A and B are shown apart, each in its own frame.
Chain A
Amino acid sequence: MSISAGELNEFEVEAAAWFAENKPGDPGFLLPQSFMEVGTDQQFEFLRDWQRKVYEAGYLGLAWPAEYGGGGKHQAFQDIATAEMARQKVPFMTNTIGLSWAGPLILNMGTEAQKQAYIKRILSAEDIWCQGFSEPDNGSDLGNAQLRAVRDGDEFVLNGSKIWTSLGSYADYMILLARSNSETNTKYEGLSYFLSPMKIPGIDPVPIRKLTGEYGFTQTFFDNARIPDSCLIGEEGKGWQVAMKTLTFERAVSGGQAGGVHSMPVFAGEVVELARHAQRDGRPAIEDPLIRDQLVAFLIEERGLELNNQRAQIPGLNTEWPGAIAMARKLTNSEWRQRLNLFAVTLQGANASRYVDDALAIDGGRWQRGYFNSFSSTIGGGTSQIQKNIVGERVLGLPKSA
């Protein structure tokens, strides 16, 4: 597919104008900072409607196949639209799990019927998706998942519970990893992977309160819930491989996501602005040499991470440890974001002690809340420690951790 620079520029101008015109104003209530923090019906409906609007305007799923509701265009168009969303700081696309993990997975290995049934409704946010991987006793050790899926004719009967289910309260479907056979040689065999409906008898999502006091995820109980075996994706007993594939989408090691931003973007430049207003010794904090040094360190790191994305595209500059940048991206970006949020809090001097809803909270307490919420990305989707194991083992070739 060849595209001209002119076409792309034209598209960019269009996209910039559309987002500028259609960017929702202040909804009058606090919006979540990422898809993992959607805690009220009001927030959810607002974000779902926004996603539908963006999709209908042609700025989401641009590179997904047209026959399933995508735009059928080159990825470059979607990248432009996504960059525009970040730049204009529009609200994020709330159906992240559908758009970025379940969707690419279904396109990659789903049946024709599954593609027909789900892809378009993921883009339009008619179907919201959630992920049922973690369990109360099995988190990092995902392969040890124990939720039971027992075959009964052409159905599976589900019993057990999943936990930390983001969007669990709102989801229509779940990508579900469950144990269909408990008598196997290794824990990795005997797992099966399902595209399971959520709104059926026997499935009950119960909200859990987060460290910020808000809601966003659930413990999801399964009590003799029955689903047809057409919900399987991949072969019965081969669920581990499907789960690993999912994680490559989730951690953006593989491409093919529908696009869009999935959290409120944070830029080091915003913290620079904060430093202009914060005070130290009767002067703007930005004049303090120690603070200046830290600001610059954040700017260097932000730039390095941006440039990494460009360099990752050039094979000749990735000969030593191919794939290192992509494999480490979740680790590097989530850790940077966490440190930046915390620094923004500490910059505020005594005002760092205020929190959201305090009349004098700086930027509405965004940084304090952002710092707490930043742990969603250093824990969710595989903790930073697990990411370091993975990069150490798969990229650097070090022996598996004991």
Chain B
Amino acid sequence: MTAEAPDALRVENIAKRFGSVTALQDVSLHLRKGEVLGLIGDNGAGKSTLIKIITGFHRPDAGRIYLDGEEVELKSVSQAQRLGIQTVYQDLALVNDMTVYHNMFLNKEITWRPLPLLNNRKMKHLTRRYLDDIGVSIPSIETEVAMLSGGQRQAIAVARAVYSEDARILLLDEPLAAMGAKEGAMILDLVQRLKESGGVSIILIAHNYAHVLEVCDRVNVLQHGRITYDKPAAETSVEELTELMVSEYRRARTGGGG
């Protein structure tokens, strides 16, 4: 990754409150074209909130968002999708009672254009191809996702976002959370492949720092509603990141404030 690559995404001074809870105080970060940015931080730090602002789900109380250097006002998830922003939500976004392939194409249904009629055959075909491509095995794409394991569901959510024709920016909010080691490796592999293909820029949230360093170009830490740390992955280590996170806890416990 060259340092000179222009920013695909830049957010400045983002703030967001939920009632009395300040989730984000003043967040500024940037994501270069073709880059994989690792975003880490404690539970409740506001990572998911930031993702949901960039994906048009929440409106920020303050701050600006730039795509390819141009300021945008994101009013809805659909609008963000049209601008090429695709998301894997931490709380997934699958409808349990729907089949695998209907979930894969919810709100991106393939139709017999110009009629709004579902082209189920094509959706099934593509679903199978996407899942094969990731390498995850799902017995039948016509079963409801309720019957699948957490890892399988996560894989569907990832495939859904990754294989959007127009995905330019991918936001992956803890995509490895529900996964076993093998499934997790598949997703990391996929991220690596996407990175090499060069078309998309990715923000990856994960708690396993080894995973983060394995695929990310740069790491940001979100603490107390701000970005407190920004370094190339090559210049940091699992130890440093762990120390960074734990030291805060120690300070808090010893009453040192902070």
Is B truly associated with A?
no
Chain B residues with a Cβ under 8 A of chain A: none
